[in-house]
Structure 1
């Protein structure tokens, strides 16, 4: 009786596992397309799910289109998952946005996000020969680069790295590692050396 019950449970478990791993026809067709790539998501309860990610470079930090093995294509935003990745790229969520991980050490990690800040530009104009003059504000979206962030492993928030007031902001931030503090204070390492700063900080002893 016990043996029969064990075999039944094993059979059900095996069938469920196989069903979870079996790829649908829809999935296989998308897998052959060049605009989808193999990847994964990590759910809020830390489960990894493999699937396909649509390669939309302009949305990687906002939402991803993920195809499950059963063919369902679902858009996941930062509040929905804790992480996703593909082709060696890894993106983590703080609930508000996705951050691409550039490096991660035992004490601190380095991350980037798309620079999608907006600002107002004041433009004056003069149309020659018409006598028409005036001015107006233009809303400009700056997408010329990325924003840089760091996050210590014992912290939950990402800290923006800016050229402005870099020393003032980061000497106190790294105050538990004197070699990093000295390197920043005496310009041995500057804003553009933030990856080297993180690497050095990861070598600091507690």
Structure 2
């Protein structure tokens, strides 16, 4: 098991290799591994996320529950991506989202306080934080704009083009929710595209 844990940590530390060895050496002792069974939650609505998670293996779904009690999927997080409600994380405020594992998942965690200390100690470490923030902002912006400027079919085709690897890992119910349409509508879109 120790060898496995070391492997997870080394993959995670590669994210910091461009910052120089001192950053990786500083954060390594604070890293922890969380193995989460399918269906369990990495984060629940109302909780404060104290660690920045990195998916070594598995797939997670970020969602909220609307006023009608429906689960609205807002994103999927797979291998080599950060699992976080980033705006709430950087403010250390309770999340409005649930993050649930759709597959058994292995997540490498780094505490918020260590990230902040790393920013203070290593100027180049701030660059990593900025890159994460830019990526999160781009994902959020792309999602909002897809609802403003694309049809449901275009959103589906866009998902297919950018996340083809997820098509066999995500249920049609979750995908339809993510695309903002009913499952029956998604089935019709898929049938129409298949017949072209």
What TM-score range do you get, normalising by the shorter chain? Answer: under 0.3
Q: Quick check: which one's helix share is greater?
A: 2
Greater RCO between the two (CA within 8 Å, min separation 6)?
A: 2
Greater Rg by CA: 1
- The TM-score normalised by the length of structure 1 is 0.24
Structure with greater proportional strand content: 1
